[in-house]
Amino acid sequence: MSRQVERAENLARYLEVTINLTLDHPEHLIDPWDPLVQVTGDEATFRSRHGVANENSVVQFLAFDHDYPNSMITCLSLARENARGVREKLSSEAFEQINEFYHFVMDASRQTGFCPTSKFFDDVRKHTLLWNGILYSTMAHDPTWHFANVGRMLERADQTSRILDVKYFNLLPSAEHVGTAIDDLQWSALLLAVSGFEAYLREHHRVEIPKVVEFFLFHRTFPRSVRFCVHSALESMNEIEEASTMERSSEAIKLTEQLNHRVTFTRVEEVLAGGMHGFVDRLQLELNQIANAFREENFQLAVPL
């Protein structure tokens, strides 16, 4: 449930920032819509249904495509069904919020000729912030809450790494724009996509690529950095294990500890020297392994012999 809500919010973030970028950026210098499709990893599906990437086709695909399993509306629909399945574990405020959130997006998707603006996606983000705040403040921070936090943090780490990887290779139309106002605008848009623009500038004052990469991957306290997310997921896994009556060695915790150590002690210079794409590929593989191990340990019942 939490992974699906987090994924829907991230899509809204990407779409809102990209719409604003097209308004501020000379159209002939950049096409921001193809990279947005690349973030999803579902380019083949998009091409088969929509062909050319433009504002209308990408927004419809990522926000309102009921047949695309990772669209915003599909994620919220599944999250709402999951919420029904664990209704007794949620506070009434949490259930009401996810229901209201779902209907807000569903009603928009049903409007003929509806063309969402950046304000619509900003409202989607606010719905998610309210949902997360309600979960945090109305539920006991017991294993139920920690399961939700594991899902949210793993999804957030994955999405942060994806957008950094794709944007790192696709932001600039040519090398001649490196260090120009265009360069600054695009990296600023990247920071805005994770609501990190102000937090970054308070520390660094000017946009520099190595520092932005370090902020995304290794910042200790920013809540959308990969390092913060992995550490938070690990803390919740430990809380779940402590409350469990099963005697077992958790593979998910072991894998998360290894990743947590790597993102804590790796330096950004090593990442840039060794290749951003390779680092992120390995990171996403490890996140998938953690999620699979966690699911097998907690949600797949053994069949008795």
Question: pLDDT-derived band of residue 302, with 50, 70 and 90 as boundaries?
Answer: low
Question: pLDDT-derived band of residue 244, with 50, 70 and 90 as boundaries?
Answer: confident
Sorted by sequence, the CB contacts under 8 Å of residue 140 that are 6+ apart come out as none
Residue ranges of the domains in the chain? Answer: 1-139, 141-298
pLDDT tens, 138-151?
999 999 999 999 99
Question: pLDDT-derived band of residue 83, with 50, 70 and 90 as boundaries?
Answer: very high
What is the pLDDT averaged over residues 182-211? 85
CA dist 165 and 80 (Å) reads 30
* Strand, helix or coil for residue 266: coil
- DSSP per-residue string spanning 177-209: GTTSHHHHHHHHHHHHHTT-HHHHHHHHSS--H
pLDDT value of residue 178: 47
pLDDT value of residue 126: 94
Q: Is the pTM of this model over 0.85?
A: yes
State whether the Cα torsion 155-153-118-172 is positive or negative: negative
Which has more confidence, 209 or 145? 145
Q: Which of the listed ranges 12-26, 186-200, 264-278 does the model predict with the highest average pLDDT? A: 264-278
Whether residue 82 contacts residue 1, with contact meaning beta carbons closer than 8 Å, is answered with yes
Structure tokens at 61: 């695909």
CA dist 26 and 142 (Å) reads 50
- DSSP per-residue string spanning 20-72: HHHHHS-GGG---HHHHHHHHT-HHHHHHHH-S--HHHHHIIIII-TTSTTSH
What is the pLDDT averaged over residues 5-15? 93
What is the pLDDT averaged over residues 23-43? 74
Q: Is 92 exposed, middle or buried (0-12, 13-18, 19+ CB in 10 A)?
A: exposed
pLDDT value of residue 18: 83
What is the pLDDT averaged over residues 112-117? 81
What is the pLDDT averaged over residues 287-296? 95
Sorted by sequence, the CB contacts under 8 Å of residue 125 that are 6+ apart come out as 9, 12, 13, 16
Mean pLDDT of the chain: 88
Q: What are phi and psi of 66, to 5 degrees?
A: -70, -20
pLDDT value of residue 24: 66
Task: Look up residue 143 and give its amino acid.
Answer: P
Return the residue matching tokens 């809102």. Answer: 16
pLDDT at 22 over 90: no
pLDDT at 301 over 80: no
Q: Which of the listed ranges 35-44, 56-65, 110-119, 189-198 does the model predict with the highest average pLDDT? A: 56-65
pLDDT at 179 over 60: no
